[in-house]
Structure 1
Amino acid sequence: MDQSTDRIYNLHFIMLCLSNALFSASFNMMIPELPAYLTKMGGADYKGYIIGLFTLMAGLSRPFSGKLTDTIGRVPVMIFGSLVCVVCSLIYPLISSVAAFLLLRFFHGFSTGFKPTGTSAYVSDIVPVTRRGEAMGMVGLFSTIGMAMGPAIGGYVAVRWNINVMFQLSALFALLSVVILVGMKETLHNKQRFRFSLLKISPDEIFEPLVWAPVIICFITYFSYGAILTIVPDFSAFLGVTNKGLFFTFFTASSIGIRILAGRVSDKYGRLPVLKVSALTMAVSMLVLGFATNGFWLLTGAVVYGIAVGLNSPAITAWTIDLSNPQHRGRALASMYIALEAGIGLGAYFSAMIYHNKEERFPLTFYVFAGITLLATIYLSFIYKPKKIQVSN
């Protein structure tokens, strides 16, 4: 598509944003309810795997989604990711064992392994380079709206009716996302027809070496997100906040407020200053949560964390695209998302291990992840040496 104008708010972009919001709401609405759901099955000791297995599959599928994005097109990859959400959401009510639940969570990870890769590549095709950060911020804004809507709606539906109705609603949201995508125009030139040989991945197709720096930052900063997803539902209950989705509502609301501004600032002043500030802010939010003794400080930590993620997400995605080869943009974005999923998955695993269902360990868990997050600021400030590059179109 034509990138020669400065216009980004066209019909394709708006429809893509709406699809993103529905997709995000679909898989996020169940997150606050799943720990209790798994506990009722007898799987209390496996709560760390709820996020860990999901992100593991997402990470494992990234090389495939990256290659397919660069070969068969952006739209088919996005549609497949949303369809996985439809199918998995409909299967949740049918399972009754811990093993089956964990297996389903593993395969559910295909959804985020595919949809975001295709989405980011599609956006980079239709927006001008000079407004790339702003565009990524807007796409992220709608994802964040879905992230805010999902837990709030899911929590209400689970309480008002039951959790099976919530799963069905999740499937409906994902299906609406697919309906929007079916009408989207493909942006990849010289796309190929799908053939099974495309699923054969060679070693040099797994990772894009040009984007090492954003990969490292993405990996470090998303450790904390894995911890948030894993222990905040229990931490909320410990502090007397009965709506386990309330933290995520405040977190996403503050993220919404900062994303567009953050994208524009990174376009004007560069990705690195924004990423340094975001990592520092993220560490502060972990400290606030570590010191939290009531619902007020829990939600204050949520707001600060939302600001940090709102600064981080559009800048890190735009930076990855800036450094990438246009012919391998899907691979570059897949590399970044592999780091993201690895960070979330390991963060979920280690936070569950540190917490170990012992309430007195909540502060320690947050302090550890504050220290890990600070490593990103240290890397950008003292280790990383930026090179002069020609930003890819």
Structure 2
Amino acid sequence: MKFLPSFFTIDFFLLCASSFLFFSSFNMIIPELPAYLTSLGGAEYKGLIISLFTLSAGLSRPFSGKLADKIGRIPVMMFGASVCFVISLLYPLMSFVSGFLFLRFIHGFSTGFTPTGTSAYVADIVPFQRRGEAMGIQSLFGSLGMAAGPAIGGWIASIWPIEILFYSASFTAILSILILLKLKETLEEKEPLRLGLFKLKRDELIEKRVLAPSLVLFFSVFSFGVVLTIIPDFSAHLGIANKGLFFAVFTLSSLGIRLIAGKASDRYGRIPVLRAATLFMMGSMVLIAFSETKTALMGAGVMFGCAVGMNSPTTAAWVIDRSLNAYRGRALATMYIFLEAGIGIGAVVSGWLFANEVENFKLVFLTAASMAAVALLVLFFVKEKTRFEDKL
């Protein structure tokens, strides 16, 4: 009996390693950004740290999806990682509020491109009946990066000036790029890059086939935007020195369940797994709202991680199930548009509700719980179509 699944080839492993480094790069700096922006005199703009990032990511998705289907998966991944490399170097040079916010907007193009190409690449090289499992493994490596990045970033920031943190993030991104150079392109009929590819028709903006899973994702990840924006301040409020600790805890807790959820969704269907994920999301937000100690917050982080771990690979597999091969990049881009919108709106709303007043913490997280409840409600009205593998 083989220990590794048959689809775990050298290309799949390299893709996973690159994903780990990519997610480590841009997540490394997140826990320190609220305090950094405050030091620049922009405390009232904390909600824009994540929302600007997700706005540009969402705006770029239709382009990255089309380009992934036209010029190839690898160039799209390379561009996103390159944005991480360059922007991280520029943060220390634009140390004023407007400059910082501008860079946050540009930085978002990284996640607007790389994950789209990555998911399409995985779908290309993995058999139809193993997609849930494969997405679980690939997202596991991304989650490891999301866990390692904030933890390492918090450690770096506690010892060295924040400039060193930005340079470390840039160095991590260049390692991701070097690995991508070793991959073989999977798009068989590629087109040369030309200006005309950046002109989008109305039907190229959104893939209607995947609107149902994308809508569920939108309401589910609202909580993620809240966590990214508010948890650093909430951690400080509870006396937790390392603001990246909660991020490390929830990401690590998501690792094992990603593999289980991926296999379960292959066997029992996507919707039952997503119903469980949204229940866990609701519960975690309620627990955070009433957390008064470090232990309670970390316990809620474990539950939140389980929700994220079930949601991510299952939704991606559901989207791929519903997409046509010729428009796989567009379908995944649509999913990510709703993802970025949910996170971005969650960030803005939470920043507005919080308003730098500690008594508002409970309101913020209970609002997030209510949005997860909406996602659960939608899942009881959506029917999972019979899976098929189209011949296009």
Q: Which of the five TM-score ranges fits, normalised by the shorter chain?
A: over 0.9
**Amino acid across the alignment from 1:311:** M
Map 1:60-75 → 2, pairs under 5 A: 60-75=59-74
- Residues 169-318 of structure 1: pairs in structure 2 closer than 5 A: 169-318=168-317
Q: How does 1:93-132 map to 2 (within 5 A)?
A: 93-132=92-131
The answer (yes or no) to whether the contact 1:355–1:361 under 8 Å persists in 2 is yes
Q: Which amino acid aligns with 1:54?
A: F
Q: Residue in 2 aligned with 1:10?
A: 9
Q: 2:385 aligns with which of 362, 384, 387?
A: 387
Classify 1:133/1:392 alpha carbon distance in 2 versus 1 (closer, same or farther; 3 Å).
farther
**Deviation string, structure 1 residues 44-84 (Cα, Å, up to 9, x no partner):** 00000000000000000000000000000000000000000
Deviations along 1:247-302, one digit per CA (max 9) or x if unpaired, are 00100110112111111111111101000000011000000001101111110111
**Alignment-mate amino acid for residue 382 of structure 2:** Y
Query: TM-score, with normalisation over the residues of structure 1?
Result: 0.97
Q: Alignment RMSD, CA only? A: 0.9
- Secondary structure (helix, strand or coil) at the match of 2:388 reads coil
The residue number in structure 1 matching 2:349 is: 350
Would you say the 8 A contact 2:270–2:384 is kept in 1? no
Amino acid at match of 1:388: T
How big is each residue's C-alpha offset from its partner over 1:212-265, in whole Å with a ceiling of 9 and x where there is no partner?
111101111010000000000000000111110000010011011211111111
Aligned to 1:338: 337
Matching residue of 1:80: 79
CA distance in 1, matches of 2:208, 2:184: 30
Deviation of 1:386 after TM superposition, in Å, equals 3.3
Q: Distance in 1 between matches of 2:314 and 2:387?
A: 16
Instruction: Summarize deviations over 1:27-46 as a string: whole Å, max 9, x none.
Output: 00000000000000000000
**C-alpha separation in 2, matches of 1:152 and 1:250:** 9
The answer as to whether partners of 1:321 and 1:392 remain within 8 angstroms in 2 is no
Give, in whole Å, the separation in 1 of the partners of 2:239 and 2:75: 44
Q: Please say if residues 266 and 274 of structure 1, whose CA atoms lie closer than 8 Å, have aligned partners that are also in contact.
A: yes
SS in 2 for 1:190: coil
Distance in 2 between residues matched to 1:389 and 1:15, nearest whole Å:
29
Q: What CA distance in whole angstroms lies between the structure 1 residues aligned with 2:48 and 2:384?
A: 37
CA distance, structure 2, for counterparts of residue 300 and residue 363 of structure 1? 17
Matches within 5 A, 1:127-138: 127-138=126-137
Q: CA deviation at 1:323?
A: 0.2
Structure 1: distance between partners of 2:158 and 2:386:
54
CA distance in 2, matches of 1:203, 1:258: 38
Verify the 8 A CA contact 1:323 1:392 in the aligned structure 2: no
Shift of 1:375: 0.9
Q: Would the aligned equivalents of 1:90 and 1:167 in 2 still touch at CA under 8 Å?
A: yes
* Counterpart code for 2:12: F
Determine helix, strand or coil for the equivalent of 2:31: coil
Partner-residue secondary structure (3-state), 1:250: helix
Residue 143 of structure 1 corresponds to which residue in structure 2? 142
Distance in 2 (alpha carbons) for counterparts of 1:390 and 1:152: 41
- Is residue 33 from structure 1 mapped to residue 40 from structure 2 by the alignment? no
Aligned to 1:22: 21
Q: What is the Cα deviation at residue 159 of structure 1? A: 1.3
What SS does structure 2 have at the residue aligned with 1:222? Answer: helix
1:163 matched to which residue of 2? Answer: 162
Distance in 2 between the 1:151 and 1:281 partners? Answer: 23
Q: Could you tell me how far 1:389 is from its partner in structure 2?
A: 4.5
Question: How do 1:351-370 and structure 2 match up within 5 A?
Answer: 351-370=350-369
**The residue matched to 1:32 in structure 2 has which SS?**
helix
Residues in 2 aligned to 1:66 and 1:249: alpha-carbon distance in whole angstroms? 30
2: CA distance, partners of 1:157 / 1:377: 39
Unmatched segments (≥5 aa) in structure 1? 1-5
Taking structure 2 as the reference length, the TM-score comes to 0.97
SS of residue matched to 1:33 = helix
Deviation at 1:95, TM superposition (A): 1.0
Question: CA 1:144/1:389 → structure 2, altered by over 3 Å: closer, same or farther?
Answer: closer
| Displacement of 1:385 | 3.0
Per-residue deviation, residues 292-328 of structure 1 (Å, max 9, x unmatched): 0111111011100000000000000000000001100
Instruction: Note the alpha carbon deviations across 1:343-370, whole angstroms, 9 max, x for none.
Output: 0000000011111111001011111110
Match of 1:201, SS? coil
On the 8 A contact 2:25/2:149 being kept in 1, the answer is yes
Q: Distance in 1 between matches of 2:92 and 2:378?
A: 45
Q: Are the aligned partners of 2:62 and 2:204 in contact in 1 as well (CA < 8 Å)?
A: yes
Mapped to 1, the partners of 2:157 and 2:188 lie a distance apart of: 45
Taking the aligned partners of 2:369 and 2:51, their CA distance within structure 1 comes to 20
**Matched residue SS, 1:109:** helix
The whole-number CA distance in structure 2 between the counterparts of 1:368 and 1:256 is 26
